[in-house]
Amino acid sequence: DIYGHPAGDEILKQIGSIIRSSIRNADQAFRYGGDEFTVILPQTSGEDAYVVAERVREQIASEMKAKEVAITCSIGLASYPSDGVMSGELVTATDTALYYAKRTGGNRTYLSAKVLSEPLTEAGANARGGGLSAVYALVSAVDAKDHYTYGHSRKVNTYAVALAEAIGLSPDEVSRVSTTALLHDIGKIGIPDKILSKRGKLTTEEWEAIKSHPKLGANIIGNVPSLVSCLPAFHTGLRTVGDRFLFTNAQASTEIFT
């Protein structure tokens, strides 16, 4: 926007050329969004992909510096099958890593697995607007904060999407299922670490705090306009056999997303 759209288009073409010159013939590169590119590297480990990504990032930084253009490149990486077995899950994992790379200063590369190994203590404060990238960062924060659910959100996403596709839901509905599955434990971001990680029996007060996480999650999602359609699933998640947590069977939604 600073230099105008024609200049921006020219820069994107140059970046595309840098990417193409840095990958193999068997690799595939695509324009993914306004200023985003996606590269698929078959038969490549996460470590080797990191080397390729860093080569691309450094080359972009070098050429932009030579042209005196203040542009840097942030990269997120995800590997099949360790970070996901379905396309949507891999995209989510990559997007989460990319957002983390940007949030921690930019001009760097992050592996999805590394994101989940580092707590995002400021994710909530930095999440703003309706973009899902901020929400995915919160998902990573929950998984990093609660060791019991380490990677749990992604696993739930995998099974939920597989089930949604198997029963013939529309692409839009499958997308909503995927998003909801990723967000189902988002309320844990508001539970103190000492309670989530406590070994042994919880006190009555601590158990009440744990039981509040679906409501906390609903409050978070309710403030993101693009995610309001996911709210019924949070009401469903508030009960199981014997009136779980906060809602009675009559109050709970009949829709099942996860």
Does position 254 have pLDDT exceeding 50, yes or no? no
Q: In which band, very low, low, confident or very high, does the pLDDT at 187 lie, cut at 50, 70 and 90?
A: confident
Q: In which band, very low, low, confident or very high, does the pLDDT at 214 lie, cut at 50, 70 and 90?
A: confident
Please state, in angstroms and rounded to a whole number, the distance separating the CA atoms of residues 27 and 122.
36
Q: Which residue has the higher pLDDT, 254 or 36?
A: 36
Q: Which residue has the higher pLDDT, 38 or 256?
A: 38
Q: In which band, very low, low, confident or very high, does the pLDDT at 123 lie, cut at 50, 70 and 90?
A: very low
One-letter amino acid for residue 167 of the chain? I
User: Residue 37 region, left (φ>0) first, then alpha (ψ -120 to 50), else beta?
Assistant: beta
Ordered by start, the domain boundaries in the chain are 130-257
Class at the top of the CATH hierarchy for domain 130-257: mainly alpha
Overall average pLDDT of the 26-44 stretch: 90
How confident is the model at residue 219, as a pLDDT? 81
How confident is the model at residue 175, as a pLDDT? 76
Does position 182 have pLDDT exceeding 60, yes or no? yes
